[in-house]
Amino acid sequence: MGLLDVQGVGIAFGGLKAVQDFRLDLPKGALQGLIGPNGAGKTTLFNLLTGVYPPDTGTVKLGDRVLNGLKPHQIAQAGLARTFQNIRLFGDLTVLDNVKIACWSRGWTTTLDALLRTPRFRAEENAITTRSMELLQIFELDKRADESARFLPYGGQRRLEMARALALDPKVLLLDEPAAGMNPQEKVALRNLIRDVRDRFGLTVLLIEHDMGLVMEICERITVLDHGVVIASGTPIEIQKNPAVIEAYLGASPVADASPGAH
Amino acid sequence: MSLASYGKPASPAVVAVDALGPFAGVAVLVLLMHFVIGPAVGPYYAKILVDIAISIVLAVSLNVVNGFTGQFSIGHAAFMAVGGYTAAAITYFGTVKIWGGLPLVHADPQGWGLFVVGTVAGALVAGLFGLFVGLPSLRLRGDYLALVTLGFGEIVRVLLMQTGSIPDPKVIAEAPLYTLPLKLGGSLGFGGVPTYTNLFWAWLWAGLTLVIVYRLKASTHGRAFLSVREDEIAAEAMGIPTTSVKVRAFVLSAALAGIAGALFAHELGTTLNPKELGFQKSFEVVIMVVLGGMGSLSGAVLAAAVLTVLPEVLREFSEYRMIVYALILILVMLVRPQGLFGIHEVWELPVVRRLLGGRGPK
Ligand SMILES: Nc1ncnc2c1ncn2[C@@H]1O[C@H](COP(=O)(O)OP(=O)(O)OP(=O)(O)O)[C@@H](O)[C@H]1O
Ligand SMILES: [Mg+2]
């Protein structure tokens, strides 16, 4: 059994079965791709895994722990971190504070420590700042640490989403279209970054991405969703040859823009 | 700001100054107000300064909810009333029970201890009410809090109107304690509350409120508050229990409003009256927060001072005050919805930074 074990998870919005009977067994250290046409249900699956929507059916397990029924913040603390397709940074706060916020649940001081500025409080604040700056360095954002997050360029905001998610010290990282809106150079850098971060932090990564070049190059295995159903699963080469996948992509209307809720 | 000290280990002296300095600052401010500024400006201006301090406590405390966590509470005066009546009941009935006879109208140092107890109790009881109001309503999304706080404000006002008149000292002396909270003066108000509130107490509590709330804002716990306001879904995804954070903010805010109420109740020239602490008062505090900036403490202080002085300066103005406030609110919402300073403190604004010769804008 893998680290992230998803069994028969599904949800329907009214009559629309957004995700049905989804199964996935991610071993520790895996870098797995999740692709599919617009509106296939990829983001919805992330929302199911992270507790934004409670699944109608199925179970999600992280290691030995069943995540069903937990609140999103409990799931995050349990080790499942994510980024958002339509960026959800804390825009008015500084780049550094965005990352520091994710360190909160690992903190050890009480509010009273903060009010009295005890040595414990200083130690924690220093530790959090140091760690956050390290993460920002990895994502080449350290120079802009005290700017408001909203002023970062698009690519920078995507990288900050990843840095912030990593500050949770997660076991599994869910990336929702991290390359969207990036220019070609940024995409090349991102490719290496995702692999580096996976190796460095011993992460398990599930990656949603529309950029096929990126997905095919870095993912070891790929799962394909279409209309909420898994239509194929395998290595990049197997997926590229799979007739059902080709059909799904060619058959899908090219501008079927989904209008999802909580991305 | 945290970047400046990043990585450098601080010496014990720096640690101590950082921890205790602001309290020393408050002490200096309080002594200055009480012994120098107060006597220099005379009783009329001293009262305005006391009013400003109370407004600061109110605006800064509401900022914790409306500014930091981005929820919209419009019943702050009700928590002020709860704190004020609690404190007044303790000092008034307490004086009779302990020393016999009516409380002196003017401050009597003998009762200061009772006043402190009353103020703290006012904060605790107001905080408890905050818990009861916040717990159910903050679980729900959207505008429920505004509705619930509005309703709560009315309920408190009506209940206070229904209380019986203040009994005679002889009756008080013999009455069992639990009967007294039902005799708070009704619609006529709680008359004869000893007037302990002066520059010393008002600025002491204002200073402490500022230190507490500022330190909160600059800590992990405060950042958790801010994340809720910025994006609740993202905050949850980063491990922040948003509901419990909101409830905590609400309780703290209510407790601090209770302190403001206690100060108001014991002020010379005010009557503790349900009518005084109705929606109009709540609205005034909301204006202070919106004007100063949602989340900005220096902005709240500035707005509190200006909106306290303005009605004094422009006598005619006070007649039309609510109209003007409503206009201000609409104007700010249209032109600068984040308020004068937004979430930032005055000294964090690029313009001010440049003036101070510090790090320029980036
Ligand atoms: N909260 C919701 N309420 C109703 N329908 C929803 C909700 N969230 C998603 N959907 C629908 O579920 C389907 C799957 O949407 P989802 O956002 O998961 O697709 P996706 O695979 O992430 O697409 P994209 O590649 O465009 O991001 C869509 O038809 C979408 O409209
Ligand atoms: Mg999506």
Which one of 2.30.30, 3.20.20, 1.10.3470, 1.10.150 gives the CATH number of domain B22-277?
Answer: 1.10.3470
What are the pLDDT digits (tens) for A136-182? 999 999 999 999 999 999 999 999 999 999 999 999 999 999 999 88
Mean pLDDT over A73-77 rounds to 96
Sign of the alpha-carbon torsion through A74, A77, A82, A87: positive
Q: Would you say the CB of residue A239 lies under 6 angstroms from ligand 1?
A: no
Ligand 1 centroid distance, CA of A194 (Å)? 25
- For the beta sheet containing A4-13, the strands, ordered from the edge strand earlier in sequence to the opposite edge, are A16-26, A4-13, A57-62, A65-66
Q: What are phi and psi of A233, to 5 degrees?
A: -155, 135
- To test the contact with chain B by mutation, choose from A101, A126, A131, A175 the residue with the greatest count of B C-beta atoms within 10 A, namely A101
**Angle between the N-to-C axes of helices A154-166 and A184-201, in degrees from 0 to 180, rounded to the nearest 10:** 10
Residues 6+ apart with CB under 8 A from B282: B74, B75, B76, B77, B78, B149, B153
* Residues A185, A207 contacting (CB under 8 angstroms): no
Residues 6+ apart with CB under 8 A from B96: B102, B103, B169, B172, B173
Distance CA B321, CA B307 (A): 10
The kind and range of the H/E element at A223 are strand A221-226
Q: In terms of residues, how long is chain B?
A: 362
pLDDT at residue B103, as a whole number: 62
pLDDT at residue B337, as a whole number: 75
CA-closest candidate to residue A158, choices A132, A134, A140, A131: A140
pTM of the predicted model, to two decimals? Answer: 0.90
**Ligand 1 atom 4: the closest Cα is on which residue?**
A13
The verdict on a CB contact (< 8 Å) between A76 and B226 is no
Q: In order of start, what are the domains of chain A with their CATH numbers?
A: 4-257 (3.40.50.300)
Distance CA B112, CA B2 (A): 40
Angle at CA of residue B52, ends B47 and B58, nearest 5°: 130
Tell how strand A221-226 and strand A57-62 pair up: unpaired
DSSP, collapsed to helix, strand or coil, labels residue A225 as strand
Ligand 1, residue A44: give the atom nearest the CA.
18
B338: which chain A residues are within 8 Å (Cβ-Cβ)?
92
Instruction: Report the residue among A9, A13, A49 best suited for mutation to probe ligand 1: largest number of ligand atoms under 8 A from its CB.
Output: A13
Ligand 2 centroid distance, CA of B348 (Å)? 37
The kind and range of the H/E element at A33 are strand A31-35
The verdict on a CB contact (< 8 Å) between A100 and B223 is yes
A and B: number of Cβ contacts within 8 A? 132
Higher pLDDT, A128 or B271: A128
> Within chain B, how many helices (H) and strands (E) appear?
14, 0
Q: Where are the domains of chain B?
A: 22-277
pLDDT of chain B along its 362 residues, tens only? 344 455 566 788 888 888 888 999 999 999 999 999 989 998 999 999 999 999 999 999 999 999 999 998 889 999 999 999 999 989 888 887 777 766 665 556 777 888 999 999 999 999 999 999 988 878 876 678 888 888 898 898 889 888 877 777 777 767 777 777 777 777 777 877 888 888 999 999 999 999 999 999 999 999 999 999 999 999 999 999 999 999 999 999 999 999 999 999 998 877 888 888 888 889 889 989 988 888 889 999 999 999 888 887 777 766 777 788 888 888 888 887 777 777 788 777 777 777 766 544 43
The kind and range of the H/E element at B230 are helix B220-230
Residues 6+ apart with CB under 8 A from B181: B89, B163
Q: Would you say the CB of residue A259 lies under 6 angstroms from ligand 1?
A: yes
Q: Would you say the CB of residue A10 lies under 6 angstroms from ligand 1?
A: no
The verdict on a CB contact (< 8 Å) between B237 and A50 is yes
Ligand 1 centroid distance, CA of A86 (Å)? 12
Helix spans in A68-183 (H): 72-78, 95-102, 111-116, 119-138, 154-166
* Residues B286, B155 contacting (CB under 8 angstroms): no
Measure in Å the smallest separation between the Cα of B137 and chain A Cα atoms. Answer: 18
- Tokens 């010769």, residue? B357
Q: Rounded to 5, what percent of chain A is helix, strand, coil?
A: 40, 25, 35
Mean pLDDT over A226-237 rounds to 92
A167: which chain B residues are within 8 Å (Cβ-Cβ)?
238
**Ligand 1 atom 16: the closest Cα is on which residue?**
A41
Distances (CA, A) of B29 to B38, B53, B79, B260: 12, 12, 27, 18
Tell how strand A172-176 and strand A80-82 pair up: parallel
B7: which chain A residues are within 8 Å (Cβ-Cβ)?
130
The verdict on a CB contact (< 8 Å) between A125 and B219 is yes
Radius of gyration of chain A (CA): 19
Taking the Cβ of residue A109 and every Cβ of chain B, the question of whether any pair is shorter than 8 Å is answered with: yes
Q: What are phi and psi of A34, to 5 degrees?
A: -130, 110
The verdict on a CB contact (< 8 Å) between B221 and A104 is yes
Specify the DSSP class assigned to residue A72. H
Q: Would you say the CB of residue A86 lies under 6 angstroms from ligand 1?
A: no
pLDDT at residue A163, as a whole number: 96
Q: Which two tokens stand for residue B312?
A: 């004094």
Higher pLDDT, B16 or A100: A100
Q: In terms of residues, how long is chain A?
A: 263
**Ligand 1 atom 29: the closest Cα is on which residue?**
A39
B242: which chain A residues are within 8 Å (Cβ-Cβ)?
73
B248: which chain A residues are within 8 Å (Cβ-Cβ)?
111
Sign of the alpha-carbon torsion through B32, B35, B41, B42: positive
CA-closest candidate to residue B82, choices B19, B124, B137, B33: B124
Instruction: Report the residue among A17, A22, A35, A44 best suited for mutation to probe ligand 1: largest number of ligand atoms under 8 A from its CB.
Output: A44
- To test the contact with chain B by mutation, choose from A87, A92, A174 the residue with the greatest count of B C-beta atoms within 10 A, namely A92
Interface of B with A (CB under 8 A): 2-3, 6-7, 10, 15, 18-19, 211-212, 215-216, 219-224, 226-227, 230-231, 233-242, 248, 295, 338, 342-343, 362
Ligand 2 centroid distance, CA of A39 (Å)? 7
Whether pLDDT at A222 is above 60: yes
Residues 6+ apart with CB under 8 A from A150: A89, A91, A92
Q: Share the mean pLDDT of chain A.
A: 90
pLDDT at residue B170, as a whole number: 73
